[in-house]
A and B are shown apart, each in its own frame.
Chain A
């Protein structure tokens, strides 16, 4: 008989999941508990096991599709039971549908029900509508692309085509192959990475990386109107030029299939400017994908331009009043549709967490700089010793140690506010989160009981968790129970930031880059390695003075790490 298998609630109250990849194929025999799919939910990728012994009859969702909990994702043919009627998997109810929005659709297997289940789903359906109407899984791709898929060991049937009408082109196959390779390599890549956690929390940090260029410029502009106008314009033209000059080609002649030419016309793109992805007969050949990519980059450059101009314009307007530019720029950004990227999975979870934190806890960020000479020296001494024991020692474990020592004295920074009970909960554990920027987004693994561990224990636990965050094998439990968080945005660069608290914690420490900076000592300016600190606190629980005192104490430990021995 046929057994339907619905997407189970794979997390706690998860409403939907993205099918990251199928681990089985139609026709394949599976035994009970054999994983059939990798499903990405809010913060983790989990393997969904088969509920039966049988053979896979049909996969009902494409890899990449977002499926509401409770929707049928696989049908199995099971031997020895009644034939004829489809049995649905009653023991896996859609209990996860906690959000009212999805509760209605979760149980609906038919297409019409899926409409309401969110943007991601809608996008997936539009894409379906554009590709071929059916036809037994036929893949539309040139023989060369099919051969490439065989060479790169990619199942071309699972590759999403970017060519006209969804045709699979070489680039799609390569992208799929790279995706496969990256997933395989990401684990080992970070494990051996000497930069350790520093590299980890890279792009993640707490701000939106996309806004970095223009956004930060406009923040700076508060300081000095004139300087910021210059820098805004500089960074605007820099970013715009970068996008354009790095990518734009300039040819007299470009080969492309007619459908690509039409797309170019529709997107108002000059084919001679589009970087060629391949050559045919010694001439540049441009695919639809390349045209779209180029259009996107042009648009991003334009937006960056517009943002910078409007930032500059606004400052200028405040100083002098030149509204024409600012107005023009605003229209330029306003009407463009641009690419629509689904806001879902880990990205949406991060967004929701940030929103909750920032609109719940009034943030204050305290900035300070500590002399890092002692820290640098200590790490240099310990690093070879740790290496002998097979552990890569970064600054992070030292900072974590110092934080715990300071937190012991300032327990309110290691607390959470229980609003319902109207109580501040001073935590008796020191579980430190370490923000890790992964390809998928920001993930914060938590090192438990830092106060009870030695430096090397902390280092090895942190390294392991960061690695798991990277290859997305990290468990939900390993990201829960934190009492205080550290984010090392300095690994990417920069001095100060305004980190967002990992709610319901009360404080988060941001680390700038350790670099030599001018320091006044005994009436002279000398170059010393310094570590900029950015400490955000929940002002409901902690006042600025306490934050400053905590930072002072932390600074003492960081400047003289030997003090940690006293603990």
Chain B
């Protein structure tokens, strides 16, 4: 034992105060467990500090600026000036309000908060090293541990993050001025969200993607709507181009890419934003001390109770596997806490909804038509184009559609894909339908408010039953 090293004990030790960890901590305290929550950086994790929340703040602000400047056809003539550092200050206020709230909530619930980096130290003990020279460390013995260390951006060889020329999403959300030229490497959901933001703020944005289309993992007709809109806003796409490296040139830099045929292209930029995915953080934990080994992608394998292969150790959130979504992590955190408290909880959800905050937004839940077929269903899909929605037209955002996938014989809603304004909200209703085992008849027979975007859900459900009023039934 190191001198000055104090050992304390706790029922539940949680490593990481992101949406998985802090939810687990509060839930465990509610269930009368003694909880210690270790966080090395900031309460709220990636989601609140560097991900969901700051990006949504900037997306909203960028929308205000862009829409104000593009309202001539609505009779608005304006040329808004964007002060990015002012925008970032506002974003930071939002973030600190929320992270402060999380910290207060944890304290109010009686969670013991410990600052530092935790490592397993054999048996049921972690060593927490406090940050800063000479701040020492402490050991904590636990009955149960919950690993909620989250994920970090993947680095591309040749394009290591330097925080200046080559930045990750976290850096992009903290710039003090809009770069004149921005190259975004990766057309996944983070790349698409941020390229749209900077294009709307006036940057000249180029997206370079190694695969042959935007938003891999989403259906073509969904991705197409978003990509077309991004092109309208001014984003320039180059597919099949793998980023290789960069060179300084004049005030900025030049990004080198290579296509399948080995041809080299160059893109000049002020900054390069690399958004090619995220990887779980498991390498800082000394998992060997537990006898626990991540899978080949670095994830911890868990069962339906969020339990790892080690009986007393749970893993939740990004570190426990795809999809890396805050709400999935929170659910896992909640279940882990309840399981530890002996409640009959389990991860038995039908589906995890997901949202992409592009223009228009994408919301998905459950199965696509193709996935439903793979699962052995005979699916039927009902669709409603937003162009037929009065509300979408009055929002001046007529792109996209709502699609419901259901089981043909029983009518059970199996999934939905929404690409539409506010799709991130609309998908909630469809998630409820999937989770409750509702049928398209139930959804279609539920009166929806007029004129709203949600009406499209009702119409799509009716369309699936071939009795939609505002679309031709296929």
Whether B348 sits at the interface, judged by CB under 8 Å, is: yes
A164 close to B (CB within 8 Å): yes
Whether, in the assembled complex, B292 has its beta carbon less than 8 Å from a beta carbon of chain A, the answer is no
For A133, list chain B residues within 8 Å (CB).
376-378, 407-410
Q: Which A residues lie within 8 Å of B414 (CB)?
A: 135
B352–chain A nearest beta-carbon distance, Å: 13
Complex contact B409–A167 (CB within 8 A): no
Complex alpha-carbon distance, A141 and B438, angstroms: 9
| Interface assignment of B437: CB less than 8 Å from any CB of chain A | yes
Partner of B376, one of A130, A136, A141, A165: A136
Contact partner of A165 (CB less than 8 A), chosen from B377, B412, B435, B436, is B412
**Cα distance A73–B435 in the bound complex, in angstroms:** 32
- Name the one of A136, A147, A168 contacting B375, with C-beta atoms under 8 angstroms: A136
Which among B344, B350, B438, B446 is the interface contact of A138 at CB below 8 angstroms? B350
In the complex, A140 has a CB within 8 A of chain B: yes
Q: Is B119 close to A, CB under 8 A? A: no
| A293 at interface by CB-CB < 8 Å | no
Answer whether residue A132 sits at the interface, using C-beta atoms and an 8 A cutoff. yes
The answer to whether A131 and B410 have CB atoms under 8 Å apart is: yes
Closest to B438 in A: A257
Is the C-beta of A150 less than 8 angstroms from some C-beta in chain B?
yes
Within 8 A of B (CB), among A89-134: 129-134
Q: Tell me which of A136, A143, A166, A168 contacts B349 (CB under 8 A).
A: A143
Residues of A within 8 A of B348 (CB): 143, 146, 150
Tell me which residues from 396 to 414 in chain B have a Cβ below 8 Å from any Cβ of chain A: 407-412, 414
Q: Which residue of chain B has its CB nearest to the CB of A150?
A: B344
With an 8 Å Cβ cutoff, the count of chain A residues facing the other chain is 28
Taking CB atoms, residues of chain B closer than 8 Å to A142 are 435-437
Query: Do A134 and B375 have beta carbons less than 8 Å apart?
Result: yes
Interface residues on B, range: 20 to 34
Write the nearest CB–CB distance from A101 to chain B, whole angstroms: 30
A132 lies within 8 A of B409 (CB)? yes
Assuming the A-B contacts A140-B437, A142-B435, A143-B349, are A132 and B407 also in contact, with contact meaning beta carbons closer than 8 angstroms in the complex?
yes
Contact in complex: A132, B410 (CB < 8 Å): yes
Which of these, A129, A130, A150, A168, contacts B346 with CB under 8 Å? Answer: A150
- Asked whether B112 is an interface residue with its Cβ less than 8 Å from the other chain, the reply is no
Could you tell me if A259 and B439 are in contact, using CB atoms closer than 8 angstroms?
yes
State the CA gap A36–B146 with chains docked (Å).
38
Q: Does B372 contact A (CB under 8 A)?
A: yes
Residues B338-392 near A (CB distance < 8 A): 344-346, 348-350, 372, 375-378
Residue B309 interfacial (CB < 8 Å): no
Instruction: Check if B121 is an interface residue, CB within 8 A of chain A.
Output: no
Interface residues of A in 258-301 (CB under 8 A from B): 258-259, 261-262
B-side contacts of A524, CB under 8 Å:
none
Q: Specify which chain B residues have a CB less than 8 angstroms from the CB of A433 in the assembled complex.
A: none
List chain B residues, Cβ under 8 A from A166: 410
User: Inside 8 A of B410's CB, which chain A residues have their CB?
Assistant: 130-133, 140, 165-166
Q: What separation, in Å, do the CA atoms of A147 and B338 have in the docked complex?
A: 12
- Contacts A141-B437, A259-B439: A134 and B344 contacting too (C-beta < 8 A)? no
Asked if B63 CB lies within 8 Å of chain A CBs, one says: no
B442 interface residue, CB < 8 Å from A?
yes
Instruction: Tell me the bound Cα distance from A150 to B435 in angstroms.
Output: 16
Interface readout for A222-264 with B: 1 if CB under 8 Å, 0 if not?
0000000000000000000000000000000000011101100
Chain A, residue nearest B348 (CB): A146
**Known pairs A166-B410, A259-B439; A134 contacts B376 (CB<8 A):** yes
B236 at interface, CB cutoff 8 A:
no
Are A147 and B439 interface neighbours, CB within 8 A?
A: no
Q: Return B39 CB to nearest CB of chain A, in Å.
A: 30
B349 touches A134 (CB 8 A): no
Within 8 A of B (CB), among A133-157: 133-136, 138, 140-143, 146-147, 150-151
Q: Taking CB as reference atom, which chain B residue is nearest A161?
A: B437
Interface presence of B115 (CB below 8 A): no
Q: Which 7 A-B pairs have the closest CB atoms?
A: A258-B445, A140-B437, A134-B376, A165-B410, A150-B344, A132-B410, A167-B437
